[in-house]
Chains A and B, each alone.
Chain A
Amino acid sequence: MNTALFVIYGVLLLGVTGVAEYRGWSWSRINQQRVLPKSIRDNPGAYRSSYGGYSRYIGGK
């Protein structure tokens, strides 16, 4: 790769990094839901999380 291409690549990379930081991008798995009834605040148990119902091996170390 010649220097000019490397500079373009580097500047693009820095640009994407800057946008990612500014917009607050993240690697985390986050599930977004657009519509949620206000009643959740009064009855939190009624909400079903996408990640709820966790089951885990509990044999211990």
Chain B
Amino acid sequence: MKGRFIIYKFDPRKDVKPLPVEYTLTIDPKETVLMALIQIRETLDPDLAFRYACGARKCGECGMLINKKAVLACDEQVRPDQTVKPLPFFPVIKDLVVDTESFIKKTFRTIFDETLELKTTDGIVPIDLNILKTYLEPTRCMGCLLCQATCPLLRKAETGFVGPYPLLALSQIALDPRWEGAFEPLIKRMDIRACTECGMCAKICPQGIDLPAFFRLLDKRRDT
């Protein structure tokens, strides 16, 4: 198959804005966009920067915007015409590489700025199997931040909504009763009720996590 890729390149040291560059290559139609990018770097443009690690949709490192949709490049099949941009809302380091690490660090630091303490034990903590899913499901998150890049509320700057990822991060801790501390002010501050439950984040999540379901549980906790 002939694949035409328009990739937005940007070097923050010298460019004013991202510039589209077109590449054409012959590629197996079953191949992933990640493989196309590797092929471009190896044969057409050694200067193209993008990030990946596991190549098997486990690590969440290769998130990007392909044809306007936030996806993992290792999980997206090539098509004849694709436009590739970095994930929006994060500072670009170079080309398709964005700084997600600072955002994740800031998210958890905000949470841990409250006095929170994990009860430690010397044995197995009993957990009711009926609510086990509440603990397991949010921690299936790989931190790819596709949800954050997709949330339509975040495009409206005036809402002040923190976005789906910080809320999921909070639910990983706040829904686990082994953690003690003042969650309620945190939950209030993060303004869960601003979420319209449009479900875009759940739809885009490579892990299929139903994020709004956990926001609702957090909201319940706010009132208790």
Whether chains A and B associate is: no
> Chain B: residues with CB nearer than 8 A to chain A?
none
